Amino acid sequence: MCAALIVASLGTARAQPAPAAVDGEALFERMRATWSALPAPSLLEYDIVVASASGSRARRDRYHGEVEPASGDFRVRPFSEAEERQPYVPRGTNVSWGIHISTGGAPLSGGGGSGFTVGGWITHEAPVEPFAIPELSPLYAFGLRACASAAAPAGATEALPTIGRVATVQRRYRITVIGPERVDDRPALHLALAPLIDARRDRVRDLWIDPQTAMPLAARVAGNFTGRAEGAVPWLIRFSSVDGTIAIDTEIAEGPVQRGRTRFDHVVVRFERLTASHASRSLAFAIPPDAADLNAIEEPPERGADCVAEQRRR
């Protein structure tokens, strides 16, 4: 489904009243618990397609990646498929030229005048730059998935007998039920989320959940990735299910994104060809994620209020 249809489907039915019996807080917590309990394959292979447009120029770049769901380790090949087939070789500045013919000082089509003159112009063409190398995992959850508690080491014993345990959960959002809507022709309940602790860390502002399965269908986040430019516009996130695992389907910028000297009017990051397997990983092809001067986009670490330890970065 194209981005326009996704946006349109999520923007409808806002005026519908929410059922009085719906508890948005309870549904939100049910969604988090359901998501964290889903089984995961040993390995997930995927492609990332970054589609961007700047003015009349458009570009699509496809990258390959792998992620180990159990550990969260992932790597993305730093060269797109097109670059691997035909490595880029700088050849100087591209130019374009044009010509005009006039008669008697007026354009030829205007008629009149005697004689003619010929003139032309040469302009520089800026190369079509890629938006960024997507150092991203499709399993990133924007802090919505409940984090698993750290397990005690095998054979560990406590010096003192345990009388009881007390757990506290700090609320990160104030949740308001907007009402029932449909996402890609599926029933969904639209929740509005207002951050209570850290607005920069807790970026989710809207969430669409299947009320029957408690699965997340879509979300809107106030800024995406770690860069300032990508964080200045809201992004629409669409989720899908792959072999029983929730994964990101698309990430759509809902406004222009300025990266360096290029203004991208439209940016869509799409995860495709997600294939679950139990094979061993082959992540040696990727460069280290902390390589300097890498034109890449990445996500900040996920930190849930009920996490014992901070998850590894996306």
What are the pLDDT digits (tens) for 180-236?
999 999 999 999 999 999 898 899 999 999 999 999 999 999 999 988 888 889 999
Measured CA distances, 239 to 3, 5, 158, 203, 208 (Å): 13, 15, 42, 16, 10
For residue 128, what pLDDT is reported?
62
For residue 33, what pLDDT is reported?
92
* Residue ranges with strand state E in the chain: 43-54, 57-67, 74-76, 94-103, 106-107, 117-125, 133-134, 173-183, 186-195, 204-209, 216-221, 235-242, 245-253, 257-259, 262-264, 266-277, 296-297
Picking from 277, 271, 245, the residue whose alpha carbon sits closest to that of residue 43 is 277
Query: Higher pLDDT residue, 103 or 82?
Result: 82
Is the pLDDT assigned to residue 12 strictly greater than 90?
no
Question: Model's pTM, two decimal places?
Answer: 0.73
Rounded to the nearest integer, the mean pLDDT of the chain is: 76
